[in-house]
């Protein structure tokens, strides 16, 4: 996997010899299967090494969300300070660090159970999943992928502290743009993401 992401022999040695090799590779393979691009996988791999250091993952058991936020603050404070026009990129870097940490640790089962909140708008996704089973007869795989995309959309929208009725076409367009520009989605994965959003909002309009 690493030889597909990095070309420098020194980098390859570093990533192959660092702790939690199996856990890192297993998650990268999972992300690749979900359609993450090479650039996105490379960033995740880079973050994983930072998580090991800043969250003391070799000795720590479960990690809390508060610990992740504190680690993000410490990590971002040691990054080169941006120029004024790059402040947004700097803020996004912190958000991406937190998101990647929560997703990887959640995947490993090492995110403290008491710190894992109920998924944003989980009841809406659950109702939609039930509709896809009962009235559309879709396969479990299709339902799982669509719900996974919706969870990502709602998680990002939830961070803005806004309610469902405030969603606009501009919000949906921005979410789609983020998948390509920031999350590194490939074109086929963006298409699947768009399909999940389109079918959900058609369903929501009928409801």
What are the pLDDT digits (tens) for 136-162? 888 888 888 888 888 888 877 777 666
Distance CA 198, CA 150 (A): 10
| Domains of the chain in sequence order | 2-115 (no CATH), 122-206 (1.10.150.130)
DSSP per residue over 102-132, as a string? Answer: HHHHHHHT-B-GGG-PPPTTHHHHHHHHHHI
Distance CA 53, CA 72 (A): 12
Strand-pairing partners, residue 149, are none
Residue 145's CB: how many other CB atoms inside 10 A?
19
3-state secondary structure of 60: coil
What digits encode the pLDDT tens for the residues 54-101?
A: 999 988 888 998 999 999 999 988 776 654 444 445 666 787 888 889
Closest listed residue to residue 29, CA positions, set 1, 5, 55, 8: 1
What digits encode the pLDDT tens for the residues 173-188?
A: 888 888 877 667 778 8
Is the pTM higher than 0.75? The answer reads no
């Amino acid at each position: 996997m690493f030889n597909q992401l990095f070309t420098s022999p020194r980098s390859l040695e570093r990533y192959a010899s660092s702790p939690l090799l199996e856990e890192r590779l297993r998650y990268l393979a999972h992300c690749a299967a979900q359609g993450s691009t090479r650039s996105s996988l490379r960033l995740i791999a880079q973050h994983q090494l930072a998580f090991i250091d800043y969250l003391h993952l070799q000795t720590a058991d479960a990690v809390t969300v508060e610990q992740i936020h504190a680690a993000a603050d410490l990590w971002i404070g040691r990054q080169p300070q941006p120029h004024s026009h790059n402040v947004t990129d700097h803020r996004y870097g912190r958000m991406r660090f937190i998101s990647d940490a929560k997703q990887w640790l959640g995947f490993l089962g090492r995110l403290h159970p008491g710190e894992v909140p109920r998924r944003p708008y989980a009841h809406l996704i659950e109702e939609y999943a039930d509709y896809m089973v009962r009235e559309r007869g879709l396969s479990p795989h299709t339902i799982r992928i669509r719900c996974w995309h919706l969870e990502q959309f709602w998680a990002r929208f939830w961070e803005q502290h806004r309610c469902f009725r405030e969603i606009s076409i501009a919000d949906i367009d921005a979410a789609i743009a983020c998948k390509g520009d920031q999350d590194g989605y490939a074109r086929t994965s963006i298409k699947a993401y768009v399909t999940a959003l389109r079918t959900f909002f058609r369903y929501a309009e009928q409801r």
